[in-house]
Amino acid sequence: MCIKESLLLHPPVTAISRCCTQDVVLPDGRVIPKAVVCLVSIFGIHHNPSVWPDPEVYNPFRFDPENIKERSSLAFIPFSAGPRNCLGQTFALTEMKVVLALTLLRFRVLPDKVEPRRKWELILRAEGGLWLRVSH
């Protein structure tokens, strides 16, 4: 739940583009014509307050199994979705779990007063990197 919440707040890739293979009718009746290239804002989806209340607040309980039943599977897409999603998704999630587990096994993580600032590039980064305070 913590890893998913971190990916919700700070998706590594903030936007993707897709070419419509057919006309798409939106809920309000407007139509996106076939062959139009659409930009999908993953960051925007993840920070939509109508889907995610308090989208800037870290709350891992959003991903409690009881809380995800009514949510669309397309509301959380840190690795994109569909046939062109990230090939490394399973590896990346596994790597995150292993690194987190080994870090917490060996160290005590201390709070840090410095809030990371987002640096918008091809991928979302932390300006100046992420510093982790630990004790043994």
Residues tagged in the binding site annotation for heme:
86
CA dihedral in degrees (114, 48, 87, 16; nearest 10)?
A: -100
Joined together, the tokens standing for residue 117 give: 């600032």
Angle made by CA atoms 96, 66, 124, in degrees to the nearest 5: 35
Residue indicated by tokens 């700070």: 10
Q: Which residues contact 54 (CB under 8 A, 6 or more apart)?
A: none
Helices (H), 58-111: 89-106
Q: Measuring CA to CA, which residue among 70, 71, 92, 69 is closest to residue 80?
A: 92
Binding positions: 86
